[in-house]
Structures are given as structure tokens and as C-alpha cells.
Amino acid sequence: MLWDKFISKAKNATFLFCRDFMDYHADRFIDHSLLIFKDENLICVFPANENNKEIGSHDGLTYGGPIVGKDIRLPDAMKCFQSILQYYDDLGFDKMIVKSLPKIYHKMPGDEVDYLLFKVGAQLIRTDCLSVVKPGNVNYSRSRKEGIRRGKKNGLRVEESQELDNFWRAILIPNLREKHKSDPVHSLDEISQLKSLFPESIRQFNVYNKNNQIVAGTTIFESDRVARAQYISGNADKNSLGSLDLLHDHLLKKAFNNKDYFDFGKSNENEGQTINEGLLFWKEGFGARTIAHNYHVINPADHVKLNGIFT
């Protein structure tokens, strides 16, 4: 498939942009993605959905924005972005929201879109704080070291599992319902389907006690440079057991020690306005520090502001 072939070679893409991933919830979104060509060669794709007069890139994904090839230069990137805006403007869309791909996921330098967002006067409407660390030789806080020691003392072990049911049914779903009155973004059927489609990219790690009972786990989304903890959860004894600390020590020093980054995800609540300080404290105890994940709103009619950039 032309789209997926391009995604596999793009400089700012992950497997989330593959059509099989985007289409698992196709019934919830009206897809309005674009492919941009130059001399019959595909040089950019734009994952997007429409909602009344608004375009989102992408409301069903963690991130979005224009995806470009490794060889693209700024003039062509500008023409792609201008073409995208003009296309939606011509169809009467009056708002476009872009959740930019954080730079740690880029395979090559790729700040072209940042400059173009500035030129069209895009408004920053939300920033989430992602906690990110370089795996391998990490510097833990005293509390995280103590947690790891408790995990070892309690005889816990970490194993990768090829099935998701145990963690999702026994730990994740009950915890979310009890603490937040909510369910995971993905249903168990959906995440199981996605894992079957992307077995090398969606991985499950569980923590078991001496009685072989699951006590914690995490579902990881792995891309070329980054391992992202998409879901993390432990049972009610996680602090006394040290289960989550032991788990992430294993992830950072063994399972993903060859990655450029490990992304613990955001600690924000209320659309980025507040931060769960306890959750942030726990992540930063592993040496994680903050990078920004930005959301911008754009008026597609402002494509005219890109005229005359190059002199």
C-alpha cells in the first residue's frame, strides 16, 4: 500500500500512522487524510479526520501533523503545508487542530512544520508534559532504588507476555474503573487486534509474585527510537511490593536499553492545565525529564500567509 510504504520510510513517522492502526476505529471518525505528490512522487501524507467544519490531525491518534520524506527540503515542505491548508479552506473548513509529533520520535531533524506554524500564526492551545529518559545508564532517586529492592526482596519477577488479557482484565481495567470511573482508550478487543497486526511494536510486560499471580504490568508501544508506556498499572499493593519500580528497572536497563528514549507519557490532567504531582514525582525518580507535546489550532484560510516566504 502506497501510504504504508511511505510511512515506513518517512523521517517523522511511527507505526501509529499505518493504515491498519488508523483504521481500527474507523467507525468513530470520518477520515479525511491527504496524500501530496510532486511530479507523481509521494512526498507527504497528512493523517486527518473531519468533524463538522473542523479538521483534526488526528483525533484518534496520540499525535499527527504532516508526515514527510527523508529527502524533503524546506521549500517543498512549505508547499505541502500550504496545499493542505488551501485544500481544506476550499472545502469550507474553518479550523484545523494539529497534535505535533514530539521530536524524540523523529528519525531525522524535522522542524519544518514548527516554522510553518509560526508563519501562519497558529495558536498554541495545549501543551502536555511528557516524562522522558534515556535508557541504559540511568540515575534513580533513593525512593526508586528502595522500590526496586522491595521488588527483589518480595521475589517478584518480570516477564514479557504475548497475550494482553491477564493484565488488562485483572489489573488495568479494574483500576481505571475504580480510580477514574473510566475505561482504557482502547478496548481489550481493539488492543488485542492491534497487537496481532503489530506484534513487534506492541509489547506486554507483566510482574508476577512468588505464587505466579500477576501484580502489575505495562503495555508498550515501541517505535524506531522510542519505547512508550501506553498503559501502566499495578494492584493495590504496588507500593509495598515495589512492583512498578522493579518493572521499569527491567524496561530501562534490559528490554529497551538500546532505545534513544523511554517515554513514560504525560502526567497532565484537565487538557494540560494541571499536573498530577505524585505521578510526575514517580516518573522523575527514574531520571525522566520533561519535553513538550504541543497542540496548535490553525485557520486554513491563513495559507495565504505562506506566500512570499522565499526571496
- Each residue's pLDDT tens digit, 229-245: 999 999 999 999 999 99
Same domain as 102, residue 150: no
The bridge status of strand 54-57 relative to strand 41-46 is: unpaired
Question: What pLDDT, on the 0 to 100 scale, is given for residue 249?
Answer: 97
Cβ atoms of 159 and 206 closer than 8 Å: yes
Same domain as 245, residue 149: yes
Low-confidence ranges of the chain (pLDDT < 50): none
Question: What pLDDT, on the 0 to 100 scale, is given for residue 113?
Answer: 92
pLDDT tens digits, one per residue of 182-193: 899 999 999 999
Same domain as 28, residue 122: yes
- Cell numbers placing 73: 527540503
Q: Is residue 288 part of a domain?
A: no
Question: What pLDDT, on the 0 to 100 scale, is given for residue 1?
Answer: 85
Question: What pLDDT, on the 0 to 100 scale, is given for residue 92?
Answer: 98
- Cell numbers placing 268: 497532565
Q: What is the CATH number of the domain that holds 160?
A: 3.40.630.30
Same domain as 217, residue 107: no
Question: What pLDDT, on the 0 to 100 scale, is given for residue 311?
Answer: 84
Question: What pLDDT, on the 0 to 100 scale, is given for residue 121?
Answer: 97
Same domain as 187, residue 228: yes
Q: Is residue 21 part of a domain?
A: yes
Question: What pLDDT, on the 0 to 100 scale, is given for residue 182?
Answer: 87
Question: What pLDDT, on the 0 to 100 scale, is given for residue 243?
Answer: 98
Same domain as 66, residue 152: no
Residue 168 lies in domain = 135-259
Question: What pLDDT, on the 0 to 100 scale, is given for residue 21?
Answer: 96
| Closest-CA residue to 65 (of 46, 40, 92) | 46
Q: How many domains does the chain divide into?
A: 2
Question: What pLDDT, on the 0 to 100 scale, is given for residue 112?
Answer: 93
Q: Residue 58: is the preceding peptide bond cis (ω within 30°)?
A: yes
Cβ atoms of 253 and 138 closer than 8 Å: yes
The pLDDT mean for the chain works out to 96
Which residues, 6 or more positions from 193, have their beta carbon under 8 angstroms from its beta carbon?
24
Question: What pLDDT, on the 0 to 100 scale, is given for residue 180?
Answer: 78
